[in-house]
C-alpha cells in the first residue's frame, strides 16, 4: 500500500522546512534508508530518509518551497499503483492531482482497496493479540530523554548498536541531534537489544519509544502493545499516514529553485558531490555518489576546510559523524581534493542582481525565521525602555594592561564588562530577574549570557556564576564557549539558564546601540566601542577614553530608578576596576 511521506519535526523550534534539493525523482526506485531530499530547517540542513521500499510515485513541493511540519512531501508505493485515493485525501477533493502516475493502471486499482480495508482491521487485532502482560516481560523500553529544558523531540543521527547486540550499562546506543547539538544516548540497562523502533534520520518526540533492551528471547511485543508509551511512538513511519493533510499549500514560498540550491546559511549543499569525485580512494561512505554524513559533521568539516570524501565514517553504514571530523588528520591527498572544489563557483550569501534588475530576492532561512519570530515576540510583548551612560575607561585600560602581564589568558574589555556586570547584579538583584506572567522570578544565581555572532545567526552561551569567577576564568570560559558556538559544539548546559545578557558590538566600531531583550531575562546590556573623546577633568579639557553602554529594560519588572542605579554601580566598577575585585 502506498505511503504518504510528511515533513518531520527536526528541531524543537521547527514549524516548517524548505526543500533544499530533491535527490530522487518521480519513478525512481527507493529503498529504506535512501536519502530522498535535503531539508533546510531553522538550525541546519538535514537529510530526509525513506522508511519504505518501493517507487517514488509523487512529489509535492519543488526545490526552494516551504512545507509546514506534517505537510505532505511525497508518496511512495508500488510501481503503477493507483494513488488517486491518497491524492484526494491530500488535496481534500476527489480529483487526483498527479499527472505522470495516471498512465499505468492495471491490476493495482483492484488490489489497493482490499489492502486499505485490511489495514485498519489488522491494527485492532494486533492491539488485542498480546496475552503476556507487559509487567511480566523481562525487558525495558528505552525512550527519548529530554536533553534540555526546551527540547520537545530529537533526531536519531546514527545507531551504534543493532538488534541482537549485547548491551551493557554505559554503552553508547545512538547519537541524537537536537537543534543545538549532537548528544550521545547511553544505555542504563544490561541485556540484548531486542527492538529498534526508529530509523536513523527520524525525529522522535520526548518520551517516544526508541528501542527495547531485555533478556534474549523476551516477548518484547507485549511491551509495545501493552506499554503506556508504545502504542503511538513505536512505529514512527506509520503514524504520520493516519493524520489528515491540512496545510500543504499554506506555507509555500515563491518558487526559487535555482537560488535555493546556492543560497542559504549553510553553503555546503553543493559541496558533497564535487568532494566525492575529487579523490579516487574516497574512504567516506557514499549513497549513489553522495557522501553520507550528519549535518553537524558537514558543518564542522566545512569550517575546518576538510573534504568529507577523505574522512572515514564510523556511524551506521559508514556514515560520517562529528567525532570522525574532529579526529580526522589531513592527508597528503587533501590539497588535491580541495583544488577542484575551489574552482567551482561558491554560493553567495547576497546574490548580485543581473544588469537591469531593480532587486533580487532569496527565501528566508529557517534560523532567520526563528530569530525574527522570537525577537518580534520580545519587542512587542515586553515594554522596552532604554538607559544610556558614558563610562571613562582610562583606569580600566591601565588595569587590563597590568593584568595581561600576569594572566594565563588574555583578558579582553568584554571580560571586564562581564565581571563588572556580575558584581553590579549582586548589588541590584531586582535587575537579575524574569517576568513569568503572573509572578516575577528573582534569580539567586548570576548567569550571564554572552551574544556570539555565528554564520547562521546568533547564539547566546552562558557564563555561570560569573560573580564568583576570576577575570582570567571568565576570559578562558568565554573564549571556549565562543569557539564551541561557531563550530556548533555547544551542549544544552552551555546555553541554558541565562539571567542577564550582554551584547558587545564595540569590536565592530559601533559607538552605541540598543539591543532587544533576550527572554526570559528582564534586561540586556548593549556595549559600544571605546572612543577617544574630549572630556573635562579638573576644570581642563583632556582626551578621555569613553565607552557608551545602553541598558534595555522590561518595564514590567524593572523601573527606571532601578535600572539607573544598576548602571551607576557598573560605571563605578569599570572606572575603578580594583573595587570589583575586592
Q: How far apart are CA 571 and CA 420, in angstroms?
A: 9
Domain for residue 129, yes or no? no
Helix, coil or strand: residue 109: helix
Provide φ and ψ at 177, rounded to 5°.
-105, 125
pLDDT value at position 384? 96
Residue among 180, 95, 183, 97 nearest 144 (CA): 183
Q: Which of 415, 559, 572, 576 is catalytic?
A: 559
Q: Indicate if 410 and 534 belong to the same structural domain.
A: yes
Q: Indicate if 563 and 502 belong to the same structural domain.
A: yes
The CB-based long-range contact list for 477-482 (8 Å cut-off, 24+ gap) reads 478/412, 478/414, 478/415, 478/418, 478/450, 479/409, 481/450, 481/452, 482/450, 482/452
pLDDT value at position 434? 93
pLDDT value at position 426? 95
Retrieve residue 62's grid coordinates: 519543488
**Of the residues 225, 241, 259, the one at which a domain ends:** 225
pLDDT value at position 549? 97
**Of the residues 31, 57, 92, the one at which a domain ends:** 92
Q: How far apart are CA 191 and CA 339, in angstroms?
A: 49
Q: Which of 171, 207, 511, 555 is catalytic?
A: 555
CA 121 to centroid of chain Cα atoms: 40
Q: Indicate if 80 and 175 belong to the same structural domain.
A: no
DSSP 392-410: E-HHHHHHHHHHHHH-SSP
What are the angstrom distances between the C-alpha of 497 and each of 148, 252, 436, 460, 461?
Answer: 10, 36, 14, 11, 9
Q: Indicate if 162 and 77 belong to the same structural domain.
A: no
pLDDT value at position 263? 36
Domain for residue 112, yes or no? no
Domain for residue 262, yes or no? no
CB atoms within 10 A of CB 364: 14
Q: Indicate if 82 and 207 belong to the same structural domain.
A: no
Total tally of structural domains belonging to the chain: 3
pLDDT, tens digit, 9 for 90 and up, residues 308-360: 888 888 776 677 877 788 788 765 344 444 444 434 444 445 555 566 678 88
428 carries an active-site annotation:
no
CATH number, domain with residue 429: 3.30.559.10
> Which domain does 17 fall in, by range?
3-92
pLDDT value at position 123? 40
Q: Indicate if 430 and 549 belong to the same structural domain.
A: yes
555 carries an active-site annotation:
yes
Residue among 161, 151, 229, 255 nearest 200 (CA): 161
DSSP assignment letter at 81: -
pLDDT value at position 50? 83
CA 481 to centroid of chain Cα atoms: 17
**Of the residues 64, 92, 120, the one at which a domain ends:** 92
Q: Indicate if 84 and 145 belong to the same structural domain.
A: no
Q: Which residue has the cell 539591543?
A: 515
pLDDT value at position 271? 37
pLDDT value at position 498? 92
pLDDT value at position 352? 59
Q: How far apart are CA 509 and CA 529, in angstroms?
A: 6
Domain for residue 359, yes or no? no
Domain for residue 340, yes or no? no
Give me the residues of the chain with pLDDT under 70, please.
11-13, 43-44, 92-136, 148-150, 179-181, 226-290, 295, 316-317, 330-356, 366-367
Helix, coil or strand: residue 155: strand
pLDDT value at position 331? 53
Q: Indicate if 151 and 32 belong to the same structural domain.
A: no
CATH number, domain with residue 59: 2.40.50.100
pLDDT, tens digit, 9 for 90 and up, residues 474-524: 999 999 999 888 887 878 788 888 999 999 999 999 999 999 999 889 999
**Are the CB atoms for 274 and 341 separated by under 8 Å?**
yes
Domain for residue 271, yes or no? no
Q: Indicate if 479 and 575 belong to the same structural domain.
A: yes
Q: Indicate if 493 and 549 belong to the same structural domain.
A: yes
Domain for residue 453, yes or no? yes
Q: Indicate if 155 and 63 belong to the same structural domain.
A: no
**Are the CB atoms for 500 and 521 separated by under 8 Å?**
yes
pLDDT value at position 255? 33
Domain for residue 71, yes or no? yes
pTM for this prediction: 0.48
DSSP 219-269: -THHHHHHSTTHHHHS-TTTGGGGSPP--TTTTPPPP-HHHHTT-SS-TTT
Q: Indicate if 88 and 154 belong to the same structural domain.
A: no
Helix, coil or strand: residue 507: helix
Amino acid at each position: 500500500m502506498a505511503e504518504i511521506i510528511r515533513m518531520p519535526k527536526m528541531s524543537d523550534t521547527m514549524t516548517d522546512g524548505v526543500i533544499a534539493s530533491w535527490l530522487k525523482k518521480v519513478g525512481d526506485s527507493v529503498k529504506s534508508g535512501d536519502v530522498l531530499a535535503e531539508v533546510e530547517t531553522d538550525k541546519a540542513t538535514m537529510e530526509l530518509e525513506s522508511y519504505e521500499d518501493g517507487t517514488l510515485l509523487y512529489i509535492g513541493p519543488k526545490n526552494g518551497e516551504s512545507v509546514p511540519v506534517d505537510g505532505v512531501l511525497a508518496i511512495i508505493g508500488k510501481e503503477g499503483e493507483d494513488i488517486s485515493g491518497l491524492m484526494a485525501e491530500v488535496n481534500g477533493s476527489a480529483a487526483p492531482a498527479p499527472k505522470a502516475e495516471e498512465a499505468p493502471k492495471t491490476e493495482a486499482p483492484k488490489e489497493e482497496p482490499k489492502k486499505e480495508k485490511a489495514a485498519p482491521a489488522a491494527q485492532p487485532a494486533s492491539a488485542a493479540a498480546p496475552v503476556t502482560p507487559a509487567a511480566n516481560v523481562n525487558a525495558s523500553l528505552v525512550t527519548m530523554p529530554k536533553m534540555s529544558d526546551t527540547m520537545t523531540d530529537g533526531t536519531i543521527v546514527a545507531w551504534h548498536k543493532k538488534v541482537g547486540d549485547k548491551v551493557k550499562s554505559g554503552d553508547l546506543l545512538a547519537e541524537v541531534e537536537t537543534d543545538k547539538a549532537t548528544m550521545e544516548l547511553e544505555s542504563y540497562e544490561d541485556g540484548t537489544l531486542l527492538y529498534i523502533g526508529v530509523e536513523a534520520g527520524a525525529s522522535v518526540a520526548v518520551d517516544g519509544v526508541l528501542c527495547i533492551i531485555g533478556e534474549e528471547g523476551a516477548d518484547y511485543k507485549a511491551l509495545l502493545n501493552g506499554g503506556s508509551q508504545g502504542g503511538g511512538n513505536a512505529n514512527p513511519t506509520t503514524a504520520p499516514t493516519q493524520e489528515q493533510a491540512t496545510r500543504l499549500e499554506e506555507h509555500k514560498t515563491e518558487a526559487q529553485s535555482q537560488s535555493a540550491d546556492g543560497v542559504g546559511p549553510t553553503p555546503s549543499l553543493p559541496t558533497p558531490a564535487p568532494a566525492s569525485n575529487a579523490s579516487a580512494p574516497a574512504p567516506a561512505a557514499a549513497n549513489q555518489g553522495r557522501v553520507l554524513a550528519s549535518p553537524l559533521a558537514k558543518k564542522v568539516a566545512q569550517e575546518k576546510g576538510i573534504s568529507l570524501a577523505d574522512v572515514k565514517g564510523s556511524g551506521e553504514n559508514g556514515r560520517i559523524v562529528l567525532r570522525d571530523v574532529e579526529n580526522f588528520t589531513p592527508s597528503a591527498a587533501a590539497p588535491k581534493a580541495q583544488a577542484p572544489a575551489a574552482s567551482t563557483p561558491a554560493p553567495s550569501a547576497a546574490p548580485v542582481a543581473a544588469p537591469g534588475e531593480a532587486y533580487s530576492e532569496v527565501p528566508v532561512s529557517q534560523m532567520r525565521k526563528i530569530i525574527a519570530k522570537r525577537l518580534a515576540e520580545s519587542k512587542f510583548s515586553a515594554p522596552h525602555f532604554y538607559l544610556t551612560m558614558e563610562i571613562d575607561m582610562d583606569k580600566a585600560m591601565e588595569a587590563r594592561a597590568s593584568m595581561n602581564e600576569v594572566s594565563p589568558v588574555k583578558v579582553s574589555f568584554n571580560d571586564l564588562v562581564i565581571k563588572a556586570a556580575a558584581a553590579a547584579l549582586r548589588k541590584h538583584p531586582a535587575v537579575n530577574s524574569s517576568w513569568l506572567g503572573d509572578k516575577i522570578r528573582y534569580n539567586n544565581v548570576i548567569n550571564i549570557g554572552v551574544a556570539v555572532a555565528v554564520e547562521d545567526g546568533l547564539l547566546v552561551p552562558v557564563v555561570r556564576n560569573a560573580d564568583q569567577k576570576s577575570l582570567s576564568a571568565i576570559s578562558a570560559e568565554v573564549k571556549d564557549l565562543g569557539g564551541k558556538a561557531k563550530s556548533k559544539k555547544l551542549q544544552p548546559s552551555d546555553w541554558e539558564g541565562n539571567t542577564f545578557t550582554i551584547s558587545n558590538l564595540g569590536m565592530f566600531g559601533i559607538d552605541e546601540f540598543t539591543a532587544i531583550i533576550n527572554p526570559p531575562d528582564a534586561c540586556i546590556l548593549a556595549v559600544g566601542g571605546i572612543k577617544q573623546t574630549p572630556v573635562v577633568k579638573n576644570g581642563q579639557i583632556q582626551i578621555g577614553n569613553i565607552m557608551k553602554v545602553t541598558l534595555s529594560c522590561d518595564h514590567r519588572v524593572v523601573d527606571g530608578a532601578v535600572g539607573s542605579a544598576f548602571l551607576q554601580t557598573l560605571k563605578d566598577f569599570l572606572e575603578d576596576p580594583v573595587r570589583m575585585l575586592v
